[in-house]
Each structure stands twice: as C-alpha cells, then as structure tokens.
Amino acid sequence: MNTLKLLILGLALLRSPLFLVIAALALLSFHGAGINISVVIIEMSRLADTPLLVSLPLFIFTGILLSESRAPARMLRFSQIFFGWLPGGLAVVSLLVCAIFTAFTGASGVTIFALGGLLLPALIQDGYKERFSMGLITSSGSLGLLFPPSLPLILYGVISESRIDHLFLAGILPGLLMIILLAGYAFRMSPPKAAGKSLTPKEMIAGIREICWELPLPFILIGGIYGGYLVPSEAAAVTALYVLVVELFIHRDVTVRQLPAIMSKSMVLFGGILVILAASMASTNYLIDQQIPSRIFSVIQAFISNKYMFLLLLNIFLLLVGAMLDIFSALVLIVPIILPIAQGYGIDPVHLGIVFLTNLQIGYCTPPVGLNLFLASYRFDRPVAELYRSTLPFLALLLITLGIITYLPWLSSVLIRYFG
Amino acid sequence: GSKQLFKIASLAPAGSVWTTQFENFAEEVREKTGGEVDFRIYPGGVMGDDIAMFRKMRVGQLHGGGFTMTGVASQVPDFRILGIPFLFHSYEEIDFVKKGLLPEFEKQFRDKGLELIAMTEVGFVYAMSTLPISDLETFKQSKNWAPTGDPVSEKFLQTLGITPIQLIIPDVLSSLQSGLVETVYNSFYGSIVLQWFTKTKYIVDLPYGYAYGVFVVSSQKFNKLTEKQKQVFLAAAHKHFPVLLKKTRQSNQESRLILKQRGGQFLTLDHGTIELLKEKRNETIKQLVPDAFSKSIQDHTFKLLEEFRKQ
Amino acid sequence: MLSVMLVAVICLACTQIVLRTVFESGFVWLDPLLRYLVLWCGLLGAVTATAKGKHIALDLVGSRFPDRVAPFLSLVTHLFSCCASAGLTLAGWLFLRNEFEYGGTGPLTLPLWLWNTIFPFAFGLITVKYFLLIILQLKAISHLFTQRGGDRS
Ligand code: NA
Ligand code: NA
C-alpha cells in the first residue's frame, strides 16, 4: 500500500493532475483503513454546504472579464496620475488592493484569480520585472488575513472563545507591518522613472474620466457587505453584473459574441480549482479521521523547554500544518489542542491567534505545497518551480515579519490597551 | 468479545461542557471494560454537519454522534415536537414530558438503526436583537434569522408575516456584524460561546423555545458489544449525561448574570403580545401536522404537559 | 452550456437580492439551489478542463527528461489519471446508491440523490476522456515505432 502511495507521489512530479493525485491518495488511504471509499464523495458533497462557494466562480468571471477588457490599462493610467510621483507606486497600490480584497474574501485564493489577471499586465507595463510582479501578486494573495472582517480571524475568535473586537484591533499593526515591509521592497525594486515626463491637466482629467466606471467597484463591495445590504456571495453577483454591463455596454471593450468564450474560460478555471478543493476536503478528512495533526503535535510537545522554544516550534509546526490543511480545518483542529498548552506558557490567546493566522498565511506560499503557488501557476500559466523562485524574496520578508510578530507581543496588544 | 472502537463526532466545540462531559463518560466505559470498548472523539464539526455525520454513520466511518434536534429530525421527524415555540415554562416541565416521550423516541430511533443513548440540551433559547424589540411590531420590523433546515421556526415566523434570513450558525456572527440579520435566537451560554452577545444587547426575557439534541450510536455497532459491555455502556451514560444536563443549565444561569454585567438589557413583553404569539403558534402547529411531525406525538406531548401542570 | 449556467447563477443571485431588499421576502430554496448549480458548473467545468488538458499539475521533473521518453511518460500519467478517476467514479456510484436509499429532499423538492448524480457523472466523463487519451497516445507511440522501423530499412 505504501509503495503504491509513493508511486502516486512520483507520478505527481510527472505532470499528473494534482486533484487526481490527492484524490487517489485519499481513496487508497480510506480503503487501507477499512473505510468505505464513498466517504471521499461524502466529503466532496460538503462543498455544496459552503456559502462561500457561490462567490468563487463569480469573482473568477469578474476577474477574467476585467482582464480581457482594457481595464488594466485604465487602472494603470489612474495610478500614474495619483501615485506617479512615488517610486513603487503601482506596486504599493497592488499590495493595498490585494489586502483589502483578501480581508473580504477570506484568503480562499480568490484574490489571485480576481486581481492577478488585472495587476500582472499593469505591473509589467509599468516596467516591473515579470518575476517580481508574479511574486508580488502570489504573496499578496493572502495578505489581508489579519484585517477585519476576515473570516479566519472571526473563526479563531469563536474557537478560542476570545473577544473578536480585540482580535480585529490586534491584527491591524501586524498586518500593516507586513504591508510596509513588502512596500519597502517594492520601492527598492521599482523601475527607474522616465524623468521630467509629467501629465497635462487635460490628460489627468481624461484618465480620471476613463476609470470612473471601474473606480466604484471596491466601494460597492465594501459598502454592500459592511452596510448590511449584501452577503458576500450576493456582493460577488452584483459586482459581476456591474462589470458585465460596464464592459459590454459602456466601454464596449468586449462584444456579446466574445462573451460565451470568456464565460466558458472562467468556468474551466473554476472547475480546475473546485476539483482540487474537493479532493483536498477528502484527504484532509483522512488526516482528521486518523487524528494525525494531534499526533504530530504531541511529538513536538516532547521537545519544549520554555516559552520562546515553544513559540519557535509552534511556528515550525504551523508552517507545516499550513502546507497540509486548509485554513478552516487547521483552525478547527489545532487551536483547541494548542490553546491550553500556550496559555500554560503564559501566551495571550489574542496574540496566539495573530501568530497562528500569520503562520497559516505564509503557509499559502511556502514550497513545495502552497495553495497560492498553485493558483498563481494556474492563472499565469507558468510552471510551479518558476513561482517558487519568484516568491522567495517575498517569503523571506514575510518570515521576518513573522519573527517580529511572534517575539514582540506588544505589536498585537498595544491597540487593545488604548481602544479595547 | 473483540476490541470495539466507537468513532463519535459532534458539532459541539472542543473544551465545551458537552465534549468534556462526554470524555468523562468515555473514560469510564474505557476503564470498566478494561479498554475493550474505546472511543475516538471528533468535536467542533470537523466531520461535517448532521447530514454528513449521518452519511458517514451509514458507511461505517463513524459509529455515533451528538446530533442537534434539527439534524436528527431529518431521520426521526417526531423528534421535533419539543422545539415548538413557547411550549414550556420551566425545566421541570421539560424533564417530565421528556421522560414520558422517551420510550416512543427510543422505538422510532431503533427503527432507523440508531440507539438513543441520551438526550442533551442547549437549553431555553431567547430572542436576542441589536434593536429594542419590545412588541410584535418592532419584532416584525427587525431582520430575523432562522437556522437552515428547521421547518418549525421557519413556519412560525412566516405565520407572523416574517420571512427569515436562513443562515448556518457559523455565518450568524458576521451577519450580525454587518446588519444582515438583527434578531437571532440562542441560549445565554451559547450566545457567549459564539460571541453573539457582543452585538445583541437586547434580550426578550421569555423562553422563545427549547433547543436540544441527542447522543446516538448505530445499532449495528452497539449490538457487537457483549451483554456485559452494553450494561457498562448504558450505566455510564445514565451516570454522566444527567450531570451534563445539570452543568449545561448551570452555565446558562451563570451566563445570564454575565450578560447582565456586560450591559445586556432584558426586555419584557406585555400579556397581550404573549397571548397573540401563542395564538399564532397554535395556527403554525396545524400547518405542521403531519408533514413536520405526527398528530399522535403532538397529542401525547400536550397530554403529558397538561398532566404536569395539573399537579 | 457552461455560459448558460453561469448566466443563471448571476441572475438568480441578483433576483434573490431584489426580492429581499425590495419586497422583503425571498425564497428560502433559492440559496441551496444556487449552490448546487455552482457545483454542477464547476464539475462540468472540470470535465472541460480535462478535455483541454488544463488541470493544475506539478511540473518539477517532467521537463527534464529527454524527448524520446516523453510519449511514454504521458502514457503513464494518462493511465494513472484514468485509474484514479475511475476510482472516483466508483466512489461516486457507491455514494449515490446510499443517497438513493436514505437521502432527503433537495432544492426544488427534487430528491437529493438527483442533485448528487453530478459526482459519478462528471468523474465518469473524465475517466472516458483519459481512456481516449490513452488510446491516442498508444497510437502515436506505435506510429513512432513503425516510422523508426521504416527509417532503418
Ligand atoms: Na505551504
Ligand atoms: Na494550505
């Protein structure tokens, strides 16, 4: 049985579809444990109960439609008008946009799909190196996890029974630190500006007028959800409809005859993601069934001698977990196990939550298994190995922030002291 | 006999009274059977919701679970009966009626291949809102939540002229945050555990309904135990689950005080409103028989209740 | 087909909003219907992705092999993919049989098993697709051999 599993892993390296590799491992594992293999489908059918499921294809469609239109060029013009004076302006804008988008969509990989196709051409046009641009977008795909109203943050509060308003406050500074460090790097890597080339007022007005239809998009999303008018899936539908009308009838970048092809392209992309999600639900369930995460943790626990040692090992453990489990399962499974132990070492539950989520966020982009890497590879049609290389510098920066966030609890507690 | 491992799942979070008390029960069975009967517990809904748990019991991945009333009612519809709004006034009433209905429930579960080991509870649930809902009009104007898949509360709200917004429990908090729903239903303890109280300041101080659940194991697995093991199993259940009920009620009582300390406002309804709500409730029941539950279980329940109230 | 379903998803979701905000009502069955529709869209999309060879795959060593081996590597991965998706189809069939016996009702008062037929159906189509790819690959390889044989003589 184990040789068979190794064989399948070998096949994975030979360009076999990832979802079939994961599914085959799950099927074999369940069969080997004497459990009926239909459990694999039972797990997959649970996807129909996820409310976030509906927003996924809609955001993908919106993203593809926007990227097939001339919206990236308009956005670029706009950011040149307002941030043209700032070196690294467009990269900083991209970071912020991704962070906000992720905070709302909960790091389900939607960010890369909805914004990647828009931002990558814009960044490259602006003179950034392709490798840098891809790395930036891939690592930004889970950047907003620490900002309200991110779902994982809320989930942590529910599971750990800590106050959610405190968690919201605690996440702000660590999240900003991450953005600032990345922005600093973007600043260093920004292309040299063509000197003396400034825009006339007429060009500026034209640029603003151009973007005025796309500019309200983030406000529709944020206003709709925060204002209590829409649930996220409805916000996704409204955005899709809005973008459809704008690109089809106002800008006329896309014709009705092109539309079926764009739609079917987005559904193929969505299908590719859905089956991976489905397969990983099944394999995660096997890990849960065999209680593997808690077994790993009990091994690690044997080596702990003090609080700092504990935090270090926790970080390593969580990075590994981030590679194996999706964020929801990781929260549900791991938090109840480590919370009492962490409290035994005098670690505040709110601080633990921020450390926890930062780790899982980074786990999205660490090789060999990182959801963001796969999604970006799929979206940009590049080999995964190339994305490993391009995210490396960003990963290093994120790990530095992780160190700061872990060993400087002040960062996550200071706002609570003043505003809590 | 050979070693028997019971894999048990539940939606109750790890570390809550429900799971810790279940672990006490499991430990006793384990000890008294010399490790021959063992348990593996999957808390916090990691095995999925009630429907997924039933599917997994059918194929033998799981052997039992702590189910909510809404989940289990898809298998045994009559089990819904205690969830009728404004039915009970006190826990004494509930205990009396429950005791009377238990043999009937046990039989209906066994027909579905399930052994009813114990009934569990969340307790009395109360309407909690971000708005001061002191009469029917303000209540109707607020955006009401109904749990997904509960025909009783859905029908009742519809009879009142309210279309509830159906959300699964994990989505309620963020929807309270954004204002998508304003009035929700939970026990005092549940409202604290799920953090809903941070948003719902106003609580209508009248038990809206009773939320409960059940611990079942598959008959097929249970019957693999020897007679002696079965006795140990049931004796341990008899010992530990009443303690769970007591602890749950205690937590609810303590939570009520905590809610008061945290600035919760307890509102009272006037007599006329309460009577009107009960009238609408009776109208709802007529619509629910026999699709949601049978006439015979309804009669049986009301007879028991009447009997208790005469005492 | 996929486009029609996507348009339906967008329209239904928007109808839901209008009903809720303007008429303060709404259909409780609309939400689960939407989710099953999305599930169908996605799985059919996955079938199309198979046909177009557009599945997410790791490619760490595949490109380092010499060209001569490539057709055989493709054959091996197609064989594996065919077996794995056949396994999923079987699992889907077993699941459906259980649903048929015990399952409840889903959206539009249609039985739940009917909504879940998509699993064995989609995985079945994927299996067939890989089976066809194996045959094509075998033909290509045999063609390669006869060609080489022809070169030598
Ligand atoms: Na990873
Ligand atoms: Na992951």
Tell me the three-class secondary structure of C80-125, residue by residue. HHHHHHHHHHHHHHHHHHHHHHHCCECHHHCEHHHHHCHHHHHHHH
Whether the Cβ atoms of residue A150 and residue A103 lie closer than 8 Å to each other: yes
Q: Mark yes or no for CB contact C87/A14 under 8 Å.
A: no
Q: Hey, what amino acid is at B155?
A: K
Count of C-beta atoms within a 10 Å radius of residue C113: 19
Q: Which of B161, B158, B167 is nearest to B185 (CA)?
A: B167
Identify which ligand lies nearest to the alpha carbon of A287: 2
> What is the pLDDT, as a whole number, of residue C46?
95
The pLDDT tens digits of the residues spanning A311-369 come to 888 888 888 877 666 676 677 667 877 887 787 788 899 999 999 999 988 888 887 77
Return the residue in B180, B189, B193, B201 with the most chain A beta carbons within 10 A, the one to mutate for interface testing. B180
Report how far ligand 2's centroid is from the alpha carbon of A324 (Å). Answer: 6
Asked if A41 and C58 come within 8 Å (Cβ–Cβ), the reply is no
What pLDDT score does A147 carry? Answer: 84
The pLDDT score that the predictor gives to residue A195 is 45
C109 touches chain B (CB under 8 A): no
> What whole-number distance in Å separates Cα of residue A71 and Cα of residue C18?
28
Contact B301, B160 (CB under 8 A): no
Whether residue C28 and residue B154 make contact (CB cut-off 8 A), yes or no, is yes
What would the mean pLDDT of B208-218 be, rounded to a whole number? 95
- Which one, of C29, B52, C47, B50, lies nearest residue A47 by Cα? B52
**Residues whose CB falls within 8 Å of the CB of residue A167, separated by 6 or more in sequence, listed in order:** A153, A154, A156, A157, A350, A353, A354
C26/B154 CB distance under 8 A:
no
pLDDT at residue A197 in the model: 54
pLDDT at residue C152 greater than cutoff 60: no
Task: Give the A:B interface size as CB pairs under 8 Å.
Answer: 86
Rounded to the nearest angstrom, the distance between the alpha carbon of A319 and the centre of ligand 2 is 9
Burial classification of residue B306, based on how many CB atoms lie within 10 Å of its CB (0-12 exposed, 13-18 middle, 19 or more buried)? exposed
Q: Could you tell me what percent of chain C has a pLDDT over 70?
A: 85
Question: Which amino acid, C97?
Answer: R
Taking CB atoms and an 8 Å limit, are C42 and A238 in contact across chains?
no
What is the average pLDDT across A112-128?
82
Helix (H, G, I), strand (E, B) or coil at C57: strand
Q: In whole angstroms, give the CA distance from residue B86 to residue A255.
A: 58
Instruction: Give the pLDDT score at C58.
Output: 64
Query: Does residue A117 register a pLDDT over 90?
Result: no
Res. A207 pLDDT band, cuts 50 70 90: confident
Distance from the alpha carbon of residue A368 to the mean position of ligand 2, in angstroms:
11
Shortest CA distance from B45: residue in chain A: A332
Q: Calculate what percentage of chain B has a pLDDT beyond 90.
A: 71
Partner-chain contact C54 A268, CB within 8 Å: yes
Q: What is the largest CA-CA distance in chain C?
A: 82
Chain B residue with Cα closest to C96:
B55
Instruction: Please tell me the distance in Å from A386's CA to the nearest CA on chain C.
Output: 10
Contact B74/C104, CB-based, under 8 Å?
yes
Over residues B217-236, mean pLDDT: 96
Q: What is the pLDDT of residue A385?
A: 85
- Ligand 1 centroid from CA A139, angstroms: 12
Could you tell me which residue, C52 or B203, shows the higher pLDDT?
B203
What's chain C's average pLDDT? 84
Q: Rounded CA gap, A367 and A118, in Å?
A: 25
Mean pLDDT, rounded, of chain B: 91
- Extended strands (E) in B69-138: 114-129
User: Which candidate in C20, C25, C28, C98 is best for mutational testing of the B interface (most B CBs within 10 A)?
Assistant: C28
Q: Do A41 and C36 touch (CB under 8 A)?
A: no
Between residues B255 and C13, the one the model is more confident about = B255
Closest partner residue to C28 among B54, B55, B166, by Cβ? B166
Top-ranked range on mean pLDDT: pick from A6-15, A104-113, C55-64: A6-15
Q: Do residue B58 and residue C98 have CB atoms under 8 angstroms apart?
A: yes
* Better-scored residue on pLDDT, C6 or A197: C6
State the distance from the centre of ligand 1 to the C-alpha of A360, rounded, in angstroms: 8
| Mean pLDDT, rounded, for A394-399 | 92
**Interchain contact, A227 vs B195, CB within 8 Å:** no
Shortest distance between the Cα of C28 and any Cα of chain B, in A, equals 7
Least confident stretch, A263-267, A401-405, B300-304, C61-65: C61-65
Put simply, the answer to whether A159 touches B13 (Cβ < 8 Å) is: yes
Averaged pLDDT, B73-77: 89
CB-proximal residues (5 Å) to ion ligand 1: A 323, 363, 366, 369-370
pLDDT at C62 over 60: no
Q: Which residue has the higher pLDDT, A66 or C47?
A: C47
Nearest residue of A to residue B195, measured between CA atoms: A158
How far is residue A394's CA from residue A155's CA, in Å, rounded to a whole number? 27
Cβ contact (<8 Å) for C95 and A27? no
More confident residue, A301 or A361: A361
From the list B55, B58, B163, the residue facing C26 with the nearest CB is B163
- Supply the pLDDT for residue A106: 62
Inter-CA distances, B5 with A27, A162, B2, Å: 22, 34, 10
- On the question of pLDDT at B140 being above 90, the answer is no
Q: Tell me the pLDDT tens digit for each residue of A78-104.
A: 777 777 667 777 888 888 888 877 776
Q: What is the percentage of chain A residues whose pLDDT exceeds 70?
A: 88
Q: Nearest by CB to C87, which of A27, A58, A244?
A: A27
CA A368 – ligand 1 centroid, Å: 6
pLDDT beyond 60 at A108: no
pLDDT tens string C81-91: 999 999 999 99
CB-nearest partner of C98 from B55, B74, B163 = B55
CB B47 within 8 A of CB B56: yes
pLDDT mean across residues, chain A = 82
User: Is A66 in contact with A254 (CB distance < 8 Å)?
Assistant: no
Give pLDDT, residue A328: 66
Say whether A374 and C49 touch across the interface (CB within 8 A). Answer: no
Out of C5, C42, C73, closest to residue A14 by CB: C73
Answer with the residue of higher pLDDT: A109 or B258: B258
Residues C26, B58: C-beta atoms closer than 8 Å: no
C33 vs B297, residue with greater confidence: B297
CB–CB contact A263 C46 (8 Å): no
Q: What is the ipTM of this complex?
A: 0.87
- In this complex, do A263 and C88 lie within 8 Å of one another by their Cβ atoms? no
pLDDT at A193: 62
Ligand located closest to A363 CA: 1
* Closest ligand relative to A277 C-alpha: 2
Q: How many CB atoms lie within 10 A of CB B75?
A: 20
Instruction: Specify the pLDDT at position A107.
Output: 59
Q: Please tell me which chains touch B, using 3 or more CB pairs under 8 Å as the contact test.
A: A, C
Average of pLDDT values for B256-270? 93
Q: Render pLDDT for A21-71 as a digit per residue (tens, 0 to 9).
A: 889 999 999 999 999 999 999 999 988 877 667 877 887 888 788 777 877
Distance from CA of C11 to the nearest CA of B (A): 19
Q: Which ligand is nearest the CA of A368, by number? A: 1
**From the CA of A231, how many Å to the nearest CA of chain B?**
7
**CB contacts, 8 Å: B55 with chain C:** 98
- Gap from CA of A362 to ligand 2 centroid (Å): 9
Q: How confident is the model over C108-150, as pLDDT tens digits?
A: 778 889 999 999 999 999 999 999 999 999 999 998 888 766 5
pLDDT at B170 over 80: no
> Residue B299's pLDDT band (boundaries 50, 70, 90)?
very high
SS3 B60: coil
Residues in chain C with CB shorter than 8 Å from the CB of B151 are: none
- According to DSSP H, which parts of A106-192 are helical? 110-125, 130-140, 151-160, 164-189
Q: How far is the CA of A322 from the centre of ligand 1 (A)?
A: 5
**Closest-approach residue (CA) in chain C for A259:** C3
Cis peptide before A87 (omega within 30 of 0): no
Closest listed ligand to the CA of A320: 1
- pLDDT for B12 equals 86
Which DSSP state fits A254? S
Higher pLDDT, C22 or C36: C36
pLDDT digits (tens, 9 = 90+) for A162-204: 777 788 889 999 999 999 999 899 888 877 765 445 667 787 7
Question: Is C9's CB within 8 Å of A54's CB?
Answer: yes
- For residue B164, pLDDT over 60 is answered with yes
Q: What are the C-alpha distances in Å from B175 to residues A224, A225, B144? A: 12, 9, 11
Contacts of B178 in chain A (CB under 8 A): 149, 225-228
